[in-house]
Every structure is written in structure tokens, then in C-alpha cells.
Amino acid sequence: MSRTQRTAAGQHGQFDFAHQRLVMTIPQALMTHRARDNVPSALWDEGISAFQSNYRYSGASQRTREGSTERDNYLMLKSGVNVGASAPARQQ
């Protein structure tokens, strides 16, 4: 047994009591995506010149049936630089 309810603008919801499941349909035109930490563009500035560097290291050691040991090491280096404005400044 299920119960269906329609709301405005094509939204649709159906609850299935037997399986305790709610199925909702919302038209994509009504969906908006906004990041939780979104900063309004009116608050942006030009930023600063900066150097950044990052690395990732991983290693593994494996013993073979013959008793020898195999070792693998991986190192990834990543760096970059921002010079000048990284985004256009907004006029106030």
C-alpha cells in the first residue's frame, strides 16, 4: 500500500508504508546547487601572489616466497605559483 501526494510545480512524493520508503520527484528546474561554504562574489578580492607546494609519499614492502623482500616507494611533488590577481576584483 502506498500513498501519493502531489505538490505545486510538478513535485511528487510517494510513501510506501510496507517498505518504509519515501520516493520524491523534483523537477530539475527547481533544483539549485550552492556550496555550503560559498562566498558571494561581491566579497571577492584580487587575492595575493603566493607559492604553493605539496607532496605525496607512499611505500610498500612485500616478502616473497623465496624469503627476499621487495620494496616500492613513490613520491609525487606538486608545486605552483599565483602571481597577481587570481580573480577580477568587483567594483563596489
Span 3-21, pLDDT tens digits: 555 556 778 888 989 989 9
For the chain, domain boundaries = 2-27+45-82
Q: Which amino acid is at 57?
A: Y
Residues 32-52: tens digit of each pLDDT: 777 788 888 888 888 888 999
Q: What confidence score (pLDDT) does residue 46 get?
A: 80
State how far the Cα of 62 lies from the Cα of 22, in Å rounded to an integer: 49
Q: What confidence score (pLDDT) does residue 1 get?
A: 43
Rounded average pLDDT over 39-67 = 90
Q: Are 23 and 37 in contact (CB under 8 A)?
A: no
Entry pTM: 0.38
Q: Cell numbers 624469503 correspond to what residue? A: 67
The better pLDDT of the pair 74, 6 is held by 74
Q: Cell numbers 502531489 correspond to what residue? A: 6
